[in-house]
Amino acid sequence: MSVVTRFAPSPTGFLHIGGARTALFNWLFTRRHGGTYRLRIEDTDRKRSTVEAIAAIVEGLKWLELDWDGEIVFQSRRLARHGEVARQMLAAGTAYRCYSTPEELTQMRERARAEGRPIRYDGTWRERDPCDAPAGVAPAIRLKAPQTGETLVEDRVQGPVRVANGELDDMILLRSDGTPTYMHSVVVDDHDMAITHVIRGDDHFSNTFRQLQIYHALDWPTPAFAHIPLLHGPDGAKLSKRHGALGVEAYRDMGFLPEAMRNYLLRLGWAHGDDETIATEQAILWFELDGVGRSPSRVDMAKLQNLNAHYIREAEAGRLADAIMARLAADGRPKVASDVLRGRLLAGMDGLRPRAKTLVELADLAAFYGLSRPLALDGKAAKLLDGAARERLAGVHAALANAGEWTESGLDAIVRNHAEQRGVKLGDMAQPLRAALTGSTVSPGIFEVMAVLGPEESRSRLADAIAGLNPV
């Protein structure tokens, strides 16, 4: 039997990090087994579902490169089928019409709460003669759930868990307006889509017992279930807007690479021995449900950043250059022609990339390559370029005038030599150079910067600084 899975978010908000991880686990498991991974939008709640949310989810999944198979299934378009199944159950006697009104049910719940009893539907209409039906009241359809015995879930992550059927009441399948409830529609859709493995968040665990009752009532085969623990915030509490409950696009905007997100999310609740950096290709080969832990884990930005730094070091230079240019352009920062900037970024990337944990940092670090002259200096750089420093710079400028070949090692030799002759420490020569060439006190190796910038631009930037032309 070939594996079929699905990721089934409800479009009431963006794709948050927990949903992203659920999608990843489904995707990995399916790719591992050469199965089919589908996307189903659970939009039966028309009031809360929005097209913006659907777009955000689709975009988030695309950014994470978790491609699904086939067309997206919209649950809302399957209403007729959901109704059909409910009526079939009615005919088979595994469901019944319930004429209790929402008001009555609310009273029932409040009374139960007040008396400290379990909050359940009392089954008023379960055996009652439909002839008693009040006129003008549209009925809801309820499952005639077993009242004795127990329901067992053989969960692939949580293990076997059983619940007494007496704990569960007769849930509503079809509302009085004819629309299906979530419980009913998931079961019908998972069955019709031939889903073999339901991998979802732990928050659905207790729903599983009820869904199983529907499968049993219909005499349908059940899929395997795997409930993965939820993600918590850094403080151990539920994810809140302040940390992890951000949409994945927020992580994209913070400068994280999708492959870093995948690796990080994978390690949250799943392990393969002591392995930490696991590329997606490798993860597909290794991923199994029995490697999923059962305790919830916390989102840790520091570790995500560390992983992101790793993938920045691995990434293809052209891709990073594009990302930098896009970010600089978005801020209106680069001033030089884009082909010039791109050339510099490509040439200087190996000096840039080990210094950044995110694309945001990378872009900030690289910005000086795109600035037009005279460079604006940051506070520390301006302070560094005092009279004495400018005088030293003038000396370097002169020494550089007859530089033969403009290479990193050649420049290094010239400046080092010059500093030695002047009896100045290399650092006292390098820092003013850095300030003059980058406008900052932090940058890649200064000789590399000069080599990337080229003789003309380097000399001009130096001349600007010597002449004190830089704005602060």
Instruction: Say if CB 407 and CB 451 are below 8 A apart.
Output: yes
How far is 46 from 43, CA to CA, in rounded Å? 6
Least distance (Å) from RNA to the CB of residue 372? 22
Q: Which of 13, 343, 410, 445 binds RNA (CB under 7 A)?
A: 445
Least distance (Å) from RNA to the CB of residue 332? 25
Q: Which of 241, 335, 380, 383 is catalytic?
A: 241
Least distance (Å) from RNA to the CB of residue 423? 15
How many residues would you count in the chain? 472
Residue 3 backbone dihedrals phi, psi, to 5 degrees: -75, 130
Least distance (Å) from RNA to the CB of residue 443? 5
CA dihedral 155→161→166→168, nearest 10 degrees, is -40
| 300 near RNA, rule: CB under 7 A | yes
Q: Which of 63, 74, 182, 215 binds RNA (CB under 7 A)?
A: 182
Q: Which of 62, 111, 242, 303 binds RNA (CB under 7 A)?
A: 303
| 191 near RNA, rule: CB under 7 A | no
What residues numbered 9-68 form the site for RNA, per CB under 7 A?
10, 12, 42-45, 48
What residues numbered 141-180 form the site for RNA, per CB under 7 A?
158-159, 161, 163, 167, 172, 175-177, 179
What residues numbered 322-351 form the site for RNA, per CB under 7 A?
none
Question: Among 21-29, 53-61, 88-96, 293-301, which window interacts with RNA (CB under 7 A)?
Answer: 293-301
Instruction: Say if CB 23 and CB 8 are below 8 A apart.
Output: no
Q: Considering the complex, state which of residue 140 and residue 214 has its C-beta at the smaller distance from RNA.
A: 140
DSSP letters spanning 360-413: HHHHHHHGGGGPPSSPPPPHHHHHH--HHHHHHHHHHHHHHHT-SS--HHHHHH
Least distance (Å) from RNA to the CB of residue 252? 20
Q: Considering the complex, state which of residue 81 and residue 175 has its C-beta at the smaller distance from RNA.
A: 175
* Contact string 91-130 vs RNA (x = CB under 7 A): -------x-xxx--x---x------x-xxxx---------
How far is 269 from 281, CA to CA, in rounded Å? 19
How far is 74 from 426, CA to CA, in rounded Å? 66
Instruction: Say if CB 326 and CB 360 are below 8 A apart.
Output: no
Q: HEC profile for 44-64? A: CCCCCCCHHHHHHHHHHHHHC
Least distance (Å) from RNA to the CB of residue 442? 4
- Per DSSP bridges, beta strands 36-41 and 4-7 are parallel
Q: Considering the complex, state which of residue 110 and residue 391 has its C-beta at the smaller distance from RNA.
A: 110
Instruction: Please indicate whether residue 380 is annotated as part of the active site.
Output: no
What residues numbered 217-276 form the site for RNA, per CB under 7 A?
229-230, 232, 234, 236-238, 267-271, 273-274, 276
Phi-psi region of 153 (alpha: psi -120 to 50; beta: other; left: phi over 0): beta
Beta strands in 50-137 (DSSP E): 73-74, 95-98
Q: Which of 207, 222, 407, 460 binds RNA (CB under 7 A)?
A: 207
Collapsing DSSP to helix, strand or coil, 157 comes out as coil
Q: Considering the complex, state which of residue 35 and residue 213 has its C-beta at the smaller distance from RNA.
A: 213
Helix (H) or strand (E) holding 266: helix 258-267
What residues numbered 366-425 form the site for RNA, per CB under 7 A?
412
Least distance (Å) from RNA to the CB of residue 229? 7
How far is 394 from 389, CA to CA, in rounded Å? 9
Question: Among 64-72, 78-86, 306-314, 320-328, which window interacts with RNA (CB under 7 A)?
Answer: 306-314
Active site residues per annotation: 241
